[in-house]
Amino acid sequence: MRRGILSRAAVVMVAALLLATPAALTSPAQATPRVARDPAVIRTWDAIAVRTIVVQGLKPPPVTQLYLGFVSAAMYNAVVTIDGRFAPYTTQPRAHAHASPEAAAATAAYRVLSVYFPASAEQLTADYQASLARIPNGVGKVHGIRVGEDAARAIVRLREGDGRDAAITLNVVPAPGVWRPTPPAFAPMLAPWLGFVRPLLLASPTQIPYAGPNPLTSAAYTRDFNEVKAIGAAASTTRTPAQTETARFWNDSVPVQYQAAFRDLATRYRLDIVHSARMLAILNMTAADAVISCWRGKYDIPFWRPITAIQLADTDGNPATTADPTWTPLVANPPYPEHLSGHACLTGATTNGLGALLGPQHIDLVVSSAVTGTTRHYATERALDQETMNARVWLGIHFRKAVVEGNRLGHRVSRWALQHYFQPVDDD
């Protein structure tokens, strides 16, 4: 019998587990020291996944999040199949009583990454051999590898024909309010197929509703227009140095920023292998589905970016907006429609997941930025949500409505997923 993770009792229970001492996080099966279960393997292979997907695979941030979801799903499935405390993502053969979750997690991640990134095979094999070398030979290692192989096969099989890299293009007729390629690259929409890919947890990319952009002649649109025009301009006289620093801090690859923060959190809280794998699965799989849903929104309602809206405001039918043909944002726009904000969708899923695990007032996340070379701490869901939403407006690349609705969509995706997956399993 399963318990809903978002019930008050379950939230308290999970938070207690995450905050517990190493002894409290030790399951009965961990009493056998010869069964390798070092939680560092989860962090190690998450870092390897980032290197493989981003540095070597050159995947852009939204696509990066999808593949991180695959890797985290495989590791989670491998570990909980052995441990038995939480419901697996997909069913697979029962594990041997002494199977090593450490060997299982490394194998699952290695196999999934090898399938999707064959060009990295040589380095992945070296990483995998190094992981296995740290595990004593014996029945635990042998059976752990088997569980990991099963977990990887299950994920790869599940993702067959899921719509990745489908030949989909966004064809739009330029008109007021409609997105068009933006300078300086004037590139077409990036990865339009992502909005049609089969989600990991949701039933479809359109399952969770969201509000579209404000009508061009509305007072709400005028307010958002004037805000980003003033504070998001490259030559803004109203944006403070602190706001500029915050905007630049978040002009990094957000999946990379968050993965490092998750690994740091697992280390500081001394999470065991099961809770490390579960945390990453919750955060990465829900974020992947949030991005898929977001991309479908961008495709279905391709709204124009502020740079287009401001330069062509004399065409929007709104007498309260004033055109500035020379206006440019603080940073160049990414190549896809404005609504919804992908950064906000991903962050909303992240903060909701962390809040469910640790409590919304205690997410305790430490994030670094390669752009500014600085590190920041976020104690609460709200603090991280608000700062990241502000940053996208201050960068000049989003209207306020897009970040608010994107963040809200991410929260809704995460809440639904946590009600249906990753739940503890009762013994009765």
Question: For position 52, what pLDDT does the model report?
Answer: 98
Same domain membership, residue 204 and residue 101: no
Question: For position 7, what pLDDT does the model report?
Answer: 36
Cis-peptide, bond into residue 280, ω within 30° of zero: no
Is position 170 within any domain? no
> For residue 342, which amino acid is it?
G
Divide the 428 residues of the chain into consecutive groups of 10 and give the mean pLDDT of each group. 35 41 35 75 98 98 98 97 93 84 98 98 98 95 96 97 97 96 96 98 97 98 98 98 98 98 97 97 98 98 98 98 98 97 98 97 97 98 98 98 98 98 82
Any idea which residue has 């192989």 for tokens?
Answer: 149
Question: For position 359, what pLDDT does the model report?
Answer: 95
Question: Which residues, in sequence order, are bridge partners of residue 374?
Answer: 369
Same domain membership, residue 213 and residue 337: yes
- SS3 letters across 361-426: CCCCEEEEECCCCEEEEECCHHHHHHHHHHHHHHCCCCCHHHHHHHHHHHHHHHHHHHHHCCCEEC
- SS3 letters across 180-214: CCCCCCCCCCCCHHHHHCCCCCCCCCCCCCCCCCC
Among 141, 158, 175, residue at a domain's last position: 158
Is position 14 within any domain? no
Is position 18 within any domain? no
Q: Would you call 303 helix, strand, or coil by DSSP?
A: strand
Question: For position 92, what pLDDT does the model report?
Answer: 78
Is position 426 within any domain? no
- How far apart, in whole angstroms, are the C-alpha atoms of residue 378 and residue 367? 8
Kindly report the CATH number assigned to the domain that includes residue 225.
1.10.606.20
Same domain membership, residue 282 and residue 338: yes
- How far apart, in whole angstroms, are the C-alpha atoms of residue 301 and residue 295? 10
The continuous run of DSSP H or E covering 155 comes out as: helix 139-158
Q: Would you call 93 helix, strand, or coil by DSSP?
A: coil
Q: Give just the sign of the alpha carbon dihedral 158, 161, 167, 173.
A: negative
Same domain membership, residue 216 and residue 321: yes
> For residue 332, which amino acid is it?
A
> For residue 328, which amino acid is it?
T
- How far apart, in whole angstroms, are the C-alpha atoms of residue 150 and residue 108? 8
Same domain membership, residue 252 and residue 329: yes
Is position 378 within any domain? yes
Is position 164 within any domain? no
Same domain membership, residue 106 and residue 64: yes
**106 within 8 A of 92, measured Cβ to Cβ:** no
Same domain membership, residue 323 and residue 216: yes
> For residue 307, which amino acid is it?
I
Same domain membership, residue 389 and residue 268: yes
Nearest to 79 by CA among 131, 34, 22, 41: 41
Distances (CA, A) of 250 to 58, 201, 255: 20, 27, 11
Instruction: Count structural domains, the chain.
Output: 2
Is position 69 within any domain? yes
Same domain membership, residue 230 and residue 133: no
Kindly report the CATH number assigned to the domain that includes residue 97.
1.20.144.10
Is position 163 within any domain? no
- How far apart, in whole angstroms, are the C-alpha atoms of residue 387 and residue 106? 35
Question: For position 3, what pLDDT does the model report?
Answer: 35
Question: For position 94, what pLDDT does the model report?
Answer: 81
Same domain membership, residue 131 and residue 248: no
Nearest to 103 by CA among 22, 35, 47: 35
Question: For position 427, what pLDDT does the model report?
Answer: 58
Same domain membership, residue 364 and residue 293: yes
Among 113, 136, 158, residue at a domain's last position: 158
Question: Which residues, in sequence order, are bridge partners of residue 303?
Answer: 178
Question: Which residues, in sequence order, are bridge partners of residue 376?
Answer: 367
Q: 279 lies in which domain range? A: 192-420
- For residue 253, which phi and psi values (nearest 5 degrees)? -75, 105
What is the full DSSP assignment across 103-115? Answer: HHHHHHHHHHHHH
Nearest to 34 by CA among 102, 106, 85, 129: 102
CB neighbours (10 Å) of residue 356? 24
**259 within 8 A of 68, measured Cβ to Cβ:** yes
**107 within 8 A of 153, measured Cβ to Cβ:** no
Same domain membership, residue 82 and residue 36: yes
